[in-house]
Amino acid sequence: MAFEISKEQKMIQKMAREFGRKELAEAAMERDHTGEYPREILKKMGELGLLGMLVPEEYDGENMGTVAYSLALTEIAYYDASVAVIMSVHNSIGCGSLVRFGSDAQKEKYLRPMAKGEIIASFALSEPEAGSDPAGMTATAEKDGDFYILNGTKRWITGGATSGVFIILAKTDPAAGHKGISAFLIEPGIPGFIVGRKEDKMGLKGSDTTDLIFENCRVPASALLGKEGEGFLVAMSGLDDGRIGIGSQSLGVGMRALDLAVDYAKQRHQFGKPIAANQGLRWMIADMATEVEAARLLVLNAAAMKDRGEKCSKEASMAKMYASEMANHVAGQSLQIHGGYGYTKEFEIERLYRDARVFTIYEGTTQVQKIVISGEVIGDKKRKKK
């Protein structure tokens, strides 16, 4: 479907691009080496409204819509994918879940500071033996008067060591499958809440990933997000936004990898001419540019459908699947064009190549996206109803 980017959306895109160029580009490789959490950068992003893009204005958000959010996230990822993943989880699932399911009291307590970037939110669904199968989780939350007692381990949690509030999924009724899952808003530092070691990851070094361990962690019933048993709904409601977010991140990295390849091909000379003059390399770049553009259209189409209130689960999965595979392929081709230099940490493409690898894994692997897409196309749900 054809669509146009509005003047306001273009302004937001330009603002995010300028912020990325001035605040992210110079130190992105250093953050990759040191693993430093971009705390000051996130504060500035909060001041610009980049951390409350999907939050209603009544809660100090910008309410810019999914297309504007996707455009801004793409620009941030172009310069630093580590910062982009924090922005994505915080906006798509953190703020989004609170907007959809939070009580008035929870919104007042958390959503306002989250929209300003004063609190960064994270989401904890995955476990050592449960990721794409939420019903298989073993973490429990047992009711005890006006409290719940949480036990279990969450794995691969973005911002596990640095976020100020977490949406934790646990089973309040272990016998009820996915209908027995509930969501809780929990702050770090309470007794029984243990943060595991930081994972030594291949990429996205500026965004920490840890286990979250709960050992008889006592939380008030007021921490329940939504109703008891609505945790699966909380998780599923954020999937479309989350997958559009990963697609946007992937697009930003793919765009950057393509630009680096073009710049290097023009500068690098072999046999008395720039390597950009070689037909084989030109065809590589033509393929890369086409893949980037296709990913852009898929991502923005899903975002536009979301803004129109249309069902877009299939389109969001298509965007996430294609864009994440694109980012990996384009980054790999860009590294190939860089030759031996691309294999060294002195060149930016080496970082992009590592950062891109996880895009086909988190928020549902490529294979899971194919399950979603094929189910929508074939009409499995309709057939089951009959």
Residues catalogued as catalytic: 363
Whether residue 297 contacts residue 369, with contact meaning beta carbons closer than 8 Å, is answered with: no
Nearest to 270 by CA among 281, 255, 259: 281
Whether residue 195 contacts residue 210, with contact meaning beta carbons closer than 8 Å, is answered with: yes
Q: Return the axis-axis angle of helices 81-88 and 39-48, rounded to nearest 10°.
A: 60
Phi-psi sector, 224: left (phi>0), alpha (psi -120 to 50), beta? beta
Structure-token pair, residue 275: 């390597």
Q: Is 145 helix (H, G, I), strand (E, B) or coil?
A: coil
- Count of all residues that appear for the chain in the document: 386
Whether residue 172 contacts residue 141, with contact meaning beta carbons closer than 8 Å, is answered with: yes
Chain centroid to CA 343: 26
Cα separation, 50 vs 378, whole angstroms: 38
Nearest to 93 by CA among 25, 18, 160, 158: 158
Whether residue 181 contacts residue 168, with contact meaning beta carbons closer than 8 Å, is answered with: no
Q: Is 188 helix (H, G, I), strand (E, B) or coil?
A: coil
